[in-house]
Structures are given as C-alpha cells and as structure tokens.
Structure 1
C-alpha cells in the first residue's frame, strides 16, 4: 500500500501527518517503507538507546528512542519504545498519540489498526487539544465513511493551529484533497479561516520601523506595552503554545529572566501535553528553571 508522510514539527519532536487516508491510498507518488529494518543502529539511534540503558525508568529517554526509530522507519521498534514510555508515564497524552502513530505506520494492511485507535482515544481523553490524536481520529471518521465529519474535525484543528505552524499548509491540503475526492465544497469555509486573526502575533514591519525611529526610552516603553498586550491575550487564549514561546523570548530580550520563568510555568500549566516542547524552547532561550 502506498504511503504519503507529511512531515511536521510538534511539541519539539518530529511527528507526521497523513495527507488524508484516501489520498494516502490513491496517490502514485509515495515513499515505500522497508519490509524490515535489520541494520546495526546508526549514531542517531545508538545515542537514545544508550540513554534508555542509563535511565531505564525515564519516559523522555524512551520517547526520544521511539522518535529516532520512527525516523529510521523501524516502526516495530518505535512502537515498543513508546509502549514503554506510556507504561512509565500513563498520563502523558503526547506519548499515547505518538504510540498510536507508530502503530499506524507499522501496520501493513490496516490503515487504522484497533490498538492505534485505542492509543489515540486514550490521548484525547487525557488532552482534548492534542493535535496528533485529533488528526488521526478524524482519519478514522473518514475511513468509516463520515467524510464530512472528518473534514469538520480537520477544520476545527485548523482553527486551533497557530499561524505559521509547520503543519498548517499540509492540513489545509488534506482538507482540500479529501473534500475534492468526496465532492464536498469547502472553498468558502477554508478561505474564511484566518489563523493570524485567531492568535497573538508579533509586530509587523511597520511597527518595527516605527519603533526603530523612537528614542531608546520610548522604544523600551513600547516594547513593554507590546509584551504586556501579548500577556493579556495569552490569559484569554492559554492554549496558544507559540504565543507562550514568544512571550518567553520577549521577556529574555527585555532582560527579565524571572518573568520568562513565570511564563514558562504558566505555559506548562495550561498546556501539559506541550511540556517537552516548552522546556526545550525555554532551554534554548536560557530561561531559568524555577
């Protein structure tokens, strides 16, 4: 069976989106998965394997190994790693949805094997906002014949997608392709969605130019005003992970590491499923841990 993987980055780790199950089956251009992976682990995989031996009870170590094996297209080993991770951290939605995806990719005949579906349902029960499980549960609706319902679910996910997210355009293409196959007109509905209007964004070019023309003291005041405005928007929309990352970056730029640390704690509290990505971004920015 042909498989089309669409790469996207989420929660700081590489995961994948299918371009709609019907499209996945029909398109002649595809990436073939190897029948088996028996090579000696390469460097990128060997390091995570060493980490699981050093920290056998650390779910993050097993998650990293699962992702490395997934990228190597060793889906059986990826599944085993994520199964271990979910055993160690059964309340992590991101681990359950990653397990579901590995099970889907490891299935040679069934596009949505029952164990994968069970993993996605577990993830969505833990975190109703988990994008990966939302996507694949919509895939299941499409497989069951509820094409309109699947498209509606993908639209709901698109509305919750931060502007410029790596998977945004792929998700739009999925909607377009599946709607075209099933003769469902989504043109107006798709055009009506303006992600940038739904989530806080940074200053535009005109704002940056205007700020540069101000005296230093006024520039600082303007920056504080914009950061405060972003903070207010995040209180109304705490699920916007990209917004929290922007706030942490802004606080560090303004020389306010303590406030950046407060933002990190608030972001994780509001988005536990995105904790890994938030921690990684915070580390890269130099945000101190509390």
Structure 2
C-alpha cells in the first residue's frame, strides 16, 4: 500500500508538471494584436475624414489600400506566432525528461538511501513495549566496560603519585577508614581508574550503612557510568534509585536518570526530566553544560517543536571559603582557636568543591589556604585535581596555575 500510494502521488505530480511544460500554451503575440487594433482604428478615421471631405477621395483610397495591406501582414504574423506558441520545442521535451527522472528516479533513490523499506507500522503501544524491553535487557556493567578501549594511563606529578601510593598502603592497613577510602577513591578517579574508584565507594557505602547519603550512591553511579563510557547500566541504575530514594532532588541522579531514558527509547521522559532539572539548577551546576548541549536534539526526538533553551543566568564568582587574608586575620586568636577556625573553613571549602564543584577562583583559594597552613602535599593534590577539572578551559586554568605559583607549587 505504501508503494502504491507514494508511486501514484509521484506519477500524478510528474504528469501535471509535464503537461504544463509541454503544452506550450503561451500568449506570444501581444505586439501583432496591438498593431491590428491600431490599423483598424486608422482605417475608421480615414473613412470618417473622407466622408467629411477632409481629404480627397483619391488620397483616402490610397491610404485605405496601404493600411489594409498592413492589416493583412500583421494578421498573418499573429497567426504564425500563435501556431508556433502551441508547439513544444526540443528543449521542452529534454526538460520534461529531466523533470520526470528527478521526481520518479530521484525520489525512489533518496528513499532507498534514507528510508527503511519494509518497516512495519510502529504504533505507540508497540514502541513503548520495545523501549521497556530494551531497558530490561540492556548490557551489564561488566559487558559495557569490556567494550571500552584501553586508555593510556593519566600522567600525574611524581609528588601526587607518591601521595596516592601512601593512601593505597594506608587503606590496605585500615580498610574501615572512611576518610582514607574517600580520598583514595577520588585519587583513583583522577588517575582514570574508575572501576577501582567505584569499588572503593561501594566499600564506603557499606561502612556508612544507614548513614550513607544520596551523594554516596551518586558517586558510585557516576564512576560506573564514566567507566562504561557514558552508558547507564542496570547496576548503575540501582545506585541512582538508591540516591533518589534518599533525595528526590539530587541533580546528579536526575541527570543520569534522564540519560538512561534517552538511551532506552524514551526521549519524551528524558526531555521532561532534563528540562525541569535545567530550569531548577544553578548556572554553575556540573550537569547544566551537558544538558544545554543536548536538550534541543532531545526535544526534537521527543516531538517537542519550537523548543527554546531557557536563558542562562549570569554566574557570579562570589568569594567562598578562606583566602590568604582570612588566614592572616586569625593571627590574634589563640593557636588552638586559630587552627580550629582555619581547619573548619578549609575543610568546608574542600568538601563543597568535592561534592558540588565550583569556580576556578574557589579552587585557587583552597590551594592558597592549604599552602598557608603548611599542607604542601594536600595543596599539590588539590592543584593536580584542579588541573584535571579545568583541563579544557585554558583561561580558568591560568587562575589555578597562578595560585599554585604563589603557593610555591609547580605543575610538574
């Protein structure tokens, strides 16, 4: 039925164009028709002038003969032009053949290249069922990771690698140390060891038990998805569902939930999740950039026409966390009070950057504050992590490098 309908439509359209092209019914004699009217008017005027006696009869007869001759010539020219106008020339036939070949042959060739001959009807219920089946039978985490090509090891400063080795040894000796596991999980992620990172984060979740928050599970899912090359596996989905059960507004879990729907044939649900998340998020939230880069295409796939990205609010890098001046201002406190205040500020900033991310200025402040505290190793680790975060933003990386130089660190 499809071929019958489309073939008939193409044939009818081709015939209409050919008829218009080959019929050649064009009015090509307006000049001759105008001349005939002028000559007839002149002939009537001469007859009137002769009747009034304005011109002699001999002159009137001569003028009538001359004008009649012109009338006959103009009429013959008009008839000849009319006959030629009704005939299609060779160029018309060539053009007609090209039109027929383009519409019929070109349309068929284009469909065979872009279309899907033989595809049956796809009612909504069937597509929904297929999407559910795809979601239920998709690859496991292990299968997805096996398909990822081997990556070259991340090049990190020697000091950073020494720190990581120390962390590995410490965790091996104290496997119940949540703080050590957290630091090592982050370090392994920075080195591209994503599988090891989420394995450590699973240990953290087991140790925390009921005290584990939504971020604990989104961290696991995040590393699993990165390890699988951006694929949301059933195992990662379980971690995301745990996070959403604890915090339905968790941005990372909602972002990956939308990604899961997009990957399993439900762009309509994915678009709704991402659109709501985008409108409710701060402009510097880590998922805003990826959503804005993909949501217009997702809207098209979801059947949403005329979608417009919401305006991006201006982001102001408000000072967050301690600066070198903040640390110096604590000089009037007792050593214990000063140390406690500084530690609290530094730890608060460090925790916020680890959990939510932040502008380059905050990373620079943290590096400077750690250097003032004399924690060079930790400052170097933060510096290395910041260089990874802003590796693709040279203008922001300059702020990080400047802070490291002031703190006496190097990128080597």
TM score, norm. by length of structure 2 = 0.38
Mapped pair 1:99 → 2:217? no
Alpha-carbon RMSD across the aligned residues, in angstroms, is: 4.5
In structure 2, list runs of 5 or more residues that go unmatched.
Answer: 1-146, 331-336, 357-361, 370-412
Which is richer in helix? 2
Aligned residue pairs: how many? Answer: 199
Does the aligned pair in 2 maintain the 1:37–1:73 contact within 8 Å? no
The alpha-carbon deviation at position 33 of structure 1 amounts to: 4.4
SS of residue in 1 equivalent to 2:195: helix
The alpha-carbon deviation at position 81 of structure 1 amounts to: 0.9
SS of residue in 1 equivalent to 2:241: helix
Does the aligned pair in 2 maintain the 1:79–1:103 contact within 8 Å? yes
Match of 1:23 in 2: none
In structure 1, list runs of 5 or more residues that go unmatched.
Answer: 1-31, 203-242
Match of 2:293 in 1: 173
Structure 1 CA distance for aligned equivalents of residues 367 and 237 of structure 2 = 35
Q: Taking structure 1 as reference, are residues 187 and 248 closer, same or farther at Cα in structure 2, changes over 3 Å only? A: same
Structure 2 CA distance for aligned equivalents of residues 34 and 130 of structure 1 = 31
TM score, norm. by length of structure 1 = 0.51
Which digits, 9 at most, give the CA deviation of each residue in 1:37-82, with x for residues without a partner?
999x981642432342354323232233223333333333222111
The alpha-carbon deviation at position 120 of structure 1 amounts to: 0.7
Mapped pair 1:74 → 2:193? yes
Structure 2 CA distance for aligned equivalents of residues 46 and 71 of structure 1 = 14
Match of 1:58 in 2: 177
Q: Taking structure 1 as reference, are residues 134 and 60 closer, same or farther at Cα in structure 2, changes over 3 Å only? A: farther
Structure 2 CA distance for aligned equivalents of residues 45 and 167 of structure 1 = 28
Structure 2 CA distance for aligned equivalents of residues 193 and 36 of structure 1 = 37
Counterpart among 259, 264, 270 of residue 144 in structure 1: 264
Structure 1 CA distance for aligned equivalents of residues 239 and 329 of structure 2 = 41
The alpha-carbon deviation at position 173 of structure 1 amounts to: 0.4
Which digits, 9 at most, give the CA deviation of each residue in 1:87-137, with x for residues without a partner?
1223222121111122234448x9332221110111122222322111111
Does the aligned pair in 1 maintain the 2:299–2:305 contact within 8 Å? yes
Match of 2:251 in 1: 131
Structure 1 CA distance for aligned equivalents of residues 206 and 228 of structure 2 = 21
Question: Quick one: higher RCO (CA 8 Å, sep 6+), 1 or 2?
Answer: 1
Using the TM superposition, name which of 111-120 and 164-173 deviates more.
Answer: 164-173
Structure 2 CA distance for aligned equivalents of residues 55 and 48 of structure 1 = 10
Does the aligned pair in 1 maintain the 2:271–2:302 contact within 8 Å? no
Which is richer in strand? 1
Structure 2 CA distance for aligned equivalents of residues 186 and 45 of structure 1 = 50
Q: Which has the larger radius of gyration?
A: 2
Does the aligned pair in 2 maintain the 1:161–1:195 contact within 8 Å? no
Match of 2:313 in 1: 195
